[in-house]
Structure 1
Amino acid sequence: MSNTTEGLRRKIDSATDLQSVVRTMKALAASSISQYEQAVLALGDYARSVELGLSVCFRGSGAIGAMTTEVVNTKARATGAVVFGSDQGLVGQFNDVIANYARETLATEPVQPLIWAVGERVHARLEDAGLPLAGDFSVPNSVQTVTQLVGQILVESETRLSQGEISGLVLFYNRPTSGAIYAPGSQRLLPLDADWCRQLAARPWPTANLPEVTGAGMTTLRALIREYLFVSLFRACAESLASENASRLAAMQRADTNIGELLDELHLSFHRVRQGGIDEELFDVISGFEALPKR
C-alpha cells in the first residue's frame, strides 16, 4: 500500500532522484544563459563596425534610395517572417508567447505572410494557429552552431527574395529583460528603413579623418548589408536562446520548490506512519504482557 513505510520510502527516493535531475537542468540552463549573453556582448563591437561602414556608404548620393527600394523585389507583396522558438520542452509559456505575438503582429499584413519556424515546438504552435509555414529549422544547441543556422536562413530568404516570393524579412523572438524574465519582440530587416539609413548617414565619424569608399560603391554597400543581416540574425537567435534558458531556469526553480515541499510532506508522512507502527507494536507487547497469568 502507498501509505506504508515501504511505499513512502519509494516515493521519497523517486522524488529525490527527480530533484537531482531538476537541479542539474537548473545548472545547465544558468550556464547556457551566460554563454549566449556573452555572445551578444561580443557581437556588439562587430555590429558597430558594420554600422560605421554603412554610414560611410550611405553618405553617397542616391545610395539610400537605391538600397531601400532595390534591395528587394518590389513586385512581391508577401512578407517573410522568421519565428524563433524551441525544440525542447520544460520552458513554460516560451513558445506560446512568441507564437501569439507573431500571429497578432502578422494579422495586420495586407497579404498572408510566409513563415519559417526555428524549433519544433513553435512550429506546432504556428501550425495550430493556421499560419502558412514555408519550413522549419532546428534550434542550435551551442553558440558555435548559431552561425550555421544563420547561414541557412540567409540562403533561404535570399532565394525567396530573388524569386519574388517575398518582399521583406521580419524576425520574431523573445528578448531577455532582467533575471528570468523575457518579452516578445520583432525586428524588420528588409526592406531597409529609410529613416534608419539617414540616421546612419548623419552619424558623426569617431575620428577627424573621414574614410572614402573606393572601387564599386554599391558592391561594398551590398556586402555590408549582408553583414548587417548576419549580425541581426545572430543576435536575434542568441537572445532567443538566452530567453529560452531563462524560461527553463524559472520552470526548474518552480519544480525544485514544489519537489522540496513534496519531500517535506513525504518525510512527515513517513515518520508519522513509522511512529504509528512502533506504537502498535508496543501496544501489542503491553497487551500480551498484561494477558499473561499472574503468578
Structure 2
Amino acid sequence: MAQTLERLTHRTQTMRSIRGIVSTMKTMSAINALPYEQAAQAIEAYQDTVLTGFHAFVHCHGPLPHDAGPAGAAIVIVFGSDHGLCGNYNEVVAVEAQRLAETGPAAQVICVGAQMEDALVGQGIMPVTTLLPPATADGLGRLAGRLITLLDGMRGAGSITVSLVHMQRGDHGQQHPVAQPLLPLDRALIEGLAQRPWASRSLPQFRMPPDRLLAALIRSYLFARLFRSAAEAMVTENAARLARMQQAEQSIDDQLEALTSELRSVRQSEITTELLDVIIGFEALKRRKKRQPAADGPPAAKRPQG
C-alpha cells in the first residue's frame, strides 16, 4: 500500500526521535557501568585485606573448627534488575534460581530488584522480601549492610546456608548466571590460609578477644562478597542494556534507511507528476491558441457604399 509523502515524513521524524532516545540510553548505560566496575575492583582489594586477616588469625589460633552439625535453614539471595530495556536478563537469573531451588532443600529467597521479583514469581518462587538495587555506586555498601542485617534476623539462634545468584561477565562480552555459596565459609579457602606460611618476620598480634575478632572478620568477609555480587549484577545489567540499545539502534538505522529511500522515491514521483501536469496543461493551452483563429473564421468583406 503506497504511503503519502506527509505520512512518510511523519514516520521518519518519529524514528529519528526514537533513535535519539535509544542513543541516549546507550550512552547512559556505558556511563553507569563504569562506577560499578570500579567499585567491584575496589572491594576485591578490601576482600584481600580481610583474607589476610583470616590468614593471621588461623596462623595464631589454627584452622577453624569444622561444623559437623546438621545444615541450617537455606537462604538464596537473587540479584536482578529494577529497570527494563535489558532483554531477558531477569528471566535468565530466575531460571538459575529455580534450578538451585530444585537441587537443594526448600529455601527462603531474598530478591533484589522489583522486576526480578516478577521474574521469580513467574518461576513459582515467592520471595520473602524484595529490596531495591542501588541507584548509584555509593548505595552498594548500604545494600550489603541491609542484607547482612536481614541474614542476622533470619539466622536466629541456629546456623544458615546462604547462596548468591546473579549474572556474571564471561569471555568475549558474554554473560551467564552463576550460583555461589556464601555460608558456611569455604573450608578449602580457610584451610589453604592455615597451611600457607606467614611471609612476614613480624608475627601478628591482636587486641580483640579471638571470638569477637573472628566474628568481625566473618562479617567483613560477608560484606565484601555481598558488595561484590551487587556490583557485578549492576555492571552486567548495564552491559545487557547497552547491548540491547546497540541492537535497537542498528534496527532503527536500517528502518530509517528504508524510509529515507521510500521518501525520496515518493517525493520524486510527486515531483514528476506535478511536472507532467504542468507540461500537459501547457500543451493543451498551446493547442487551444492554435485553434482559436480557425474557429473565428476569415474577416467579413466590406459592402460598397452608394
User: Structure 1 counterpart of 2:144, which letter?
Assistant: V
Greater alpha carbon shift after TM alignment, 255-264 vs 34-43 = 34-43
- Give 1:127's aligned amino acid: V
Contact 2:160 2:184 in 1 (8 A): yes
Q: Which residue of 2 aligns with 1:172?
A: 165
**Whole-Å Cα distance in 2 between the matches of residues 132 and 212 of structure 1?**
47
Give the aligned partner of residue 220 of structure 1.
213
TM-score (norm 2): 0.88
Question: Paired residue for 2:107?
Answer: 113
Change (3 A) 1:179 1:23: farther
CA distance in 1, matches of 2:14, 2:157: 57
CA-based RMSD: 2.0
Q: What are the superposed Cα offsets for residues 186-212 of structure 1, whole Å, 9 maximum, x if unpaired?
A: 221111122221012223334222313
**Distance in 2 between residues matched to 1:39 and 1:215, nearest whole Å:** 29
Instruction: Work out which of the two has the higher radius of gyration on C-alpha atoms and give 1 or 2.
Output: 2
Alpha-carbon shift at residue 133 of structure 1 (Å):
1.6
2:237 is equivalent to residue 244 of structure 1: yes
Counterpart contact for 1:119–1:138, Cα < 8 Å: yes
Count of aligned pairs: 288
Q: Letter of the 2:148 partner, please give it.
A: L
Tell me whether 1:39 sits opposite 2:39 in the alignment. Answer: yes
In the other structure, the counterpart of 1:94 is 89
Distance between the aligned counterparts of 1:96 and 1:194, measured in 2? 32
Q: Does the 8 A contact of 2:59 with 2:198 survive in 1?
A: no
Name the CA distance, whole Å, in 2 between partners of 1:44 and 1:2: 60
**Distance in 1 between residues matched to 2:2 and 2:70, nearest whole Å:** 69
Change (3 A) 1:101 1:203: same
Q: Which residue of 2 aligns with 1:189?
A: 182
CA distance in 1, matches of 2:9, 2:106: 57
Distance, in Å, in 2 between the alignment partners of 1:249 and 1:128 is 25
Residue 283 and residue 163 in structure 1: after superposition, are their counterparts in 2 closer, same or farther (change >3 A)?
farther
Aligned residue runs from structure 1 range 124-139, under 5 A: 124-139=118-133
Contact 1:86 1:139 in 2 (8 A): yes
Q: Determine helix, strand or coil for the equivalent of 2:213.
A: helix
Distance across 2 between alignment mates of 1:188 and 1:182:
19
Q: Shift in Å at residue 276 of structure 1?
A: 0.7
Q: Find the aligned partners of 1:204 and 1:32 in 2 and give their Cα distance.
A: 42
Unaligned runs of 5+ in 1: none
CA distance in 2, matches of 1:127, 1:62: 45
Pairs within 5 Å for 1:43-62: 43-61=43-61
Alignment partner, residue 67 of structure 2: 69
Inter-CA distance 225–2: structure 2 relative to 1 (3 Å threshold):
farther
The answer to whether the 8 A contact 1:176-1:243 is kept is yes
How far 1:223 moved relative to its partner? 0.3
AA aligned to 1:52 is T
Distance 2:86 2:133 in 1: 14
Tell me the alpha carbon deviations over residues 263-285 of structure 1, each in whole angstroms, 9 at most, x when there is no partner: 11111111111111111111111
Please state how far the C-alpha of 1:77 moved relative to its aligned partner: 3.8
Code of the residue aligned with 1:148 in structure 2: it is: R
TM-score after normalising by structure 1: 0.91
SS of the equivalent of 1:188 reads strand
Question: Counterpart in 1 of 2:77?
Answer: 82
Query: How many Å separate the matches in 2 of 1:33 and 1:60?
Result: 41
Aligned counterpart, 1:231:
224
Deviation at 1:63, TM superposition (A): 5.1
Give the partner amino acid of 1:104: R
Question: Structure 2: where are the runs of 5+ without partners?
Answer: 291-306
> Does the 8 Å contact 2:144/2:226 carry over to 1?
yes
1:235 match: secondary structure: helix
Shift of 1:50: 0.4
The 8 Å contact of residues 181 and 247 in structure 1, kept in 2 or not, is answered as no
